[in-house]
Structures are given as C-alpha cells and as structure tokens.
Amino acid sequence: MSKHSVELTINGRRHCSDVEARTSLSDFLRDDAGYTGVHLGCEHGVCGACTVMVDGKAVRSCLMLAVQADGKTVKTAEGLAQPDGTLHPVQQAMMEEAGLQCGFCTPGFVMTLAALTDGDQRPSEEELLGALSGNVCRCTGYQGIRRAAKRLAGTATGEES
Ligand code: FES
Ligand code: FES
C-alpha cells in the first residue's frame, strides 16, 4: 500500500509521518501521534467524541483523512491547558459545573466549546448550546454541560441543576 507524507502542527509541535491514504485524522492523532485524548465512539460522525480543532474550527476527526489535514494546525484536548497546568476556561467551567462523569465524551464537548470561545469570539448562549447538540453524552444528562456553556456565555444563573 502506498503511503503519503503528511506534516501537521499538533498542539504547537510539528509532526511528520507517512500514512496510508485511508488513514483517518482520528487514527493518525491517536495511533501515530499519541494523542489518545481524541476519543472514538461511533466513528461515523454522529457522537462528536473525536472532535478536535483544525485551523481553529471544530472538526470530527473520524470524518477527516490525515492527508486532508496535511499542512494544517490541529489542537486536541491535550493542547488546551497552559504549560503550567492552568486549565483552559472551557475545562475550568466543565470542572466547576460538574459537566462530566466517566469523561469519555468530555474531550469532544470541550473542543466544541473551545472552538467557539477561543480568541476574541463572544458566542451567545444560544450558539453555544446549539453547538453542543452535535455531541452525545451517555452519563450526565447534559445539565452540567449546559451550565458550563452558559457560564462561558456569561448567562449562568445558578438556577439550573
Ligand atoms: S467518533 Fe467521530 S463523531 Fe463519533
Ligand atoms: S460523561 Fe460519560 S459519556 Fe459523557
């Protein structure tokens, strides 16, 4: 099987490798680059667990080929916290609002929210909650995750429980 050379910047580090054309970005990130925070649930673009940022946009990495990501900048959940361990605001909000239980879905939710809130973006509560509709969680009942999103939008009231 012929291989193709790809070069990505992942969490600030360059990563070069030769991959088969059919290799998904999710498999590449997990198996080749070692970023196992990219979780795989459905592998059909339905659950959102594999969500990463590609050039700042949320992408389901099970639906993208590694060769399509050649030359792009990828961020996974491992790349969100500061080097000193300070959590990203999305991670902090998820932690403080109890937005996770088993944690399997969590990297996908966190990356979905981070793609909307990073930089100077000021998404509305509606936009944040709407974005979450593409991610599936089997544990939490979503209320903690919704509270985290509202906190990020600046509209948390403390009433939802
Ligand atoms: S594993 Fe990619 S969307 Fe479910
Ligand atoms: S916390 Fe377990 S699937 Fe969401």
Q: Which atom of ligand 1 is nearest to the CA of 40?
A: 1
Nearest Cα neighbor of 80 from 89, 69, 70 is 89
Using a pLDDT cut of 90, give the percent of the chain over it: 92
Report d(CA 66, CA 22) in Å as an integer: 8
Per-residue pLDDT at 159: 56
The answer to whether residues 51 and 135 touch, using CB atoms and an 8 Å cutoff, is yes
Residue from 60, 64, 65 to probe ligand 1 pocket by mutation (most atoms less than 8 Å from CB): 60
pLDDT at 156 over 80: no
**H or E element, residue 103:** none
Per-residue model confidence as pLDDT tens digits over 1-55: 789 999 999 999 999 999 999 999 999 999 999 999 999 999 999 999 999 999 9
Q: Averaged over 148-159, what is the pLDDT?
A: 85
Nearest CA to ligand 1 atom 3: 45
Verify whether ligand 2 is closer than 6 Å to residue 140 (CB atom).
Answer: yes
Q: What is the pTM for the complete model shown?
A: 0.95
Amino acid present at 97? E
pLDDT at 127 over 70: yes
Report d(CA 135, CA 121) in Å as an integer: 21
Q: Which of 11-25, 60-74, 127-141, 144-158 has the lowest mean pLDDT?
A: 144-158
Per-residue model confidence as pLDDT tens digits over 82-103: 999 999 999 999 999 999 999 9
Contacts of residue 149, Cβ cutoff 8 Å, sequence gap at least 6: 93, 113, 125, 128, 129, 132
Report d(CA 41, CA 65) in Å as an integer: 17
Q: What residues line ligand 1, using a CB cutoff of 6 Å?
A: 40-43, 45-50, 60, 62
pLDDT at 158 over 80: no
